[in-house]
Chain A
Amino acid sequence: MGLASRIIPCLDIDGGRVVKGVQFVDIRDAGDPVEIARRYDRAGADELTFLDITASHEQRETLVHTVEAVAAEVFIPLTVGGGIRAVADVRRMLNAGADKVAINTAAIHDPDLVRAASERFGAQCIVVAIDAKRSGGSDTEPRWEVFTHGGRKPTGIDAVDWAQQMAAAGAGELLVTSMDRDGTRIGFDNALNQAISERAGVPLIASGGVGNLQHLADGVLKGKADAVLAASIFHFGEYTIAEAKAFMAEAGIEVR
């Protein structure tokens, strides 16, 4: 089979600027999404994900312009997430040039949103983002719960069940973030990803916890992820996309 596992750098956007700094060596403006997107495009990133962490409505308008500016110059797929609450939000992002839109909290509050958006625009552009935390079970059969609001609010919903429900409702892809691992740099929660990947039937992007290249390879080999998402290891110049791909290829993973 020829389908490559994807590497997706993730950029946090606030008010039209990339935050949490991207430290390429000779970058002109470390906060400019277009400049950074262009760099990652040239470096061989397979897709880009922009997560809007802006709270205010006015700044959301800025995001639309950011997406337009990036899409005019970068010809790889672009996913936009954060604050998507209605079908109209999905349409605006797609019209601005996003290829996929990630829906997170709104999917919990309004499960019909995923169905409606998917019927309207196609499953291929609807990503459901799931933030999950381990919630007991045994070592051999762990369980995970869906959280919202950046991992602060529990929902009581089982993450694996939720993933299956969202795929059935029309999600074309799942972005699964382990809230236990996010920011820890100790690797993905591969048990979580594997449990979802084997049941949901749609592609899975693993997120949360990457600290080195072995973690990326493990995400595919152990977690059965179709794509691996990472932020800091690339932004801070610890590893290049090319190094990540060479490492994964060495581990027997097909990459572009």
Chain B
Amino acid sequence: MRIAVIDYGMGNLRSVARALEHVGAREVAVTDDPAVIAAAERVVFPGQGAVRDCMSALHQHELVEVLHQVAADRPFLGICMGMQALMTRSEENEGVEALDIFPGTVRHFGDRASAPARLKVPHMGWNRLYQLTTHPLWAGIEQDERFYFVHSYYVEPASPDIVQGESDYGGRFAAAIGAGNLFATQFHPEKSQQPGLRLLTNFLSWDGEPCS
């Protein structure tokens, strides 16, 4: 099984590769080579940092086209910035056009009208994840389980139907989204100990169908 972890120079990607290997993945390639990515059976799109740098790195490494290609037809997991980059656009850095694989916007926590008091940003730490669906990637993970988050922006999908799980930080927000062969989490499964490793295990055996 060949898994491509997309490397576009944005932070600590090896943690994701190590966690995948830890749960039994073989042939994990941390790569920026479009040919390797196109040939992979599964794709993991991690990332952290700022969306402007993320998008410019994707363009620079000529990865935009291959990302659209693999996002169309095989098991695909976005993590953190790799989730936000799938949306139409982000409000970060005065507005950045993203990959537009999911219609929707990425917004800053500091602007949340629903927050009762000023929120500390980034949202950092272990928060509860409310599963809204019975997606195969939630298999064996308890409802309301905690995952590790660290982010200043959150996604607001145009369609609520794609929200697979929510968390609460000054109000509910989409902590996991998915449709068809695509799944993406705002939290870091590779840093979320047992439940995170379980999600990665589920990803390795997922056939890319939204229902089991």
Q: Spell out A's residues near B (CB within 8 Å).
A: 1-6, 41, 46, 71-73, 75-77, 94-95, 97-99, 119-125, 172-173, 201-203, 226-227, 256
- CB pair A94–B12 under 8 Å, yes or no, is yes
- Cβ distance B5 to chain A, nearest Cβ, rounded Å: 14
B151 proximal to A (CB < 8 A): yes
- CB pair A202–B22 under 8 Å, yes or no, is no
Q: Which residues of A contact B14 (CB under 8 A)?
A: 71, 95, 97
Q: Which residues of B contact A119 (CB under 8 A)?
A: 50
**CA–CA, A98 to B150, complex, Å?**
14
Would you give 11 A-B contacts (Cβ < 8 Å), ordered by A?
Answer: A2-B127, A3-B125, A3-B127, A72-B18, A77-B150, A99-B191, A121-B11, A202-B120, A202-B121, A226-B124, A227-B125
Chain B residue nearest to A256 in the complex (CB): B126
* Chief secondary structure at chain B's binding surface: mixed
Q: Which 8 A-B pairs have the closest CB atoms?
A: A2-B128, A122-B49, A124-B150, A256-B126, A4-B126, A3-B127, A2-B127, A203-B124
8 further interface pairs, Cβ-Cβ under 8 Å (given A75-B193, A122-B49): A1-B169, A2-B168, A75-B19, A98-B12, A121-B49, A123-B152, A124-B48, A172-B124
**CA–CA, A238 to B19, complex, Å?**
32
Q: Spell out B's residues near A (CB within 8 Å).
A: 11-12, 14-15, 18-19, 22, 48-50, 53, 118, 120-128, 146, 148, 150-152, 167-170, 188, 190-193, 196-197
Which one of A73, A121, A124 contacts B152 once the chains associate, using CB atoms below 8 Å?
A124
**CA–CA, A71 to B17, complex, Å?**
11
- CB pair B15–A99 under 8 Å, yes or no, is yes
- Cβ distance B92 to chain A, nearest Cβ, rounded Å: 10
**CA–CA, A156 to B120, complex, Å?**
28
**CA–CA, A121 to B15, complex, Å?**
15
Interface-centre pick from B53, B118, B190, B193 (highest chain A CB count, 10 A): B193
**CA–CA, A77 to B192, complex, Å?**
8
- Cβ distance B80 to chain A, nearest Cβ, rounded Å: 9
Chain B residue nearest to A198 in the complex (CB): B118
Chain B residue nearest to A41 in the complex (CB): B193
Q: Which residues of A contact B169 (CB under 8 A)?
A: 1-3
Which one of B11, B121, B151, B190 contacts A201 once the chains associate, using CB atoms below 8 Å?
B121
Q: Which residues of A contact B193 (CB under 8 A)?
A: 41, 75-76
- CB pair A76–B11 under 8 Å, yes or no, is no
Q: Which residues of B contact A71 (CB under 8 A)?
A: 14-15, 18
Q: Which residues of B contact A95 (CB under 8 A)?
A: 12, 14
- Cβ distance B74 to chain A, nearest Cβ, rounded Å: 25
- Cβ distance B89 to chain A, nearest Cβ, rounded Å: 19
Chain B residue nearest to A98 in the complex (CB): B12
**CA–CA, A211 to B51, complex, Å?**
43
Chain B residue nearest to A172 in the complex (CB): B122
Which one of A2, A4, A75, A122 contacts B190 once the chains associate, using CB atoms below 8 Å?
A75
- Cβ distance B170 to chain A, nearest Cβ, rounded Å: 8
Chain A residue nearest to B124 in the complex (CB): A203
Interface-centre pick from A41, A124, A202 (highest chain B CB count, 10 A): A124
**CA–CA, A75 to B124, complex, Å?**
16
Which one of B15, B48, B120, B167 contacts A2 once the chains associate, using CB atoms below 8 Å?
B167
Chain A residue nearest to B123 in the complex (CB): A3
Chain B residue nearest to A77 in the complex (CB): B191
**CA–CA, A188 to B61, complex, Å?**
48
Given the contacts A75-B192, A125-B48, A203 and B122 also touching, CB distance less than 8 Å: yes
Q: Which residues of A contact B118 (CB under 8 A)?
A: 201
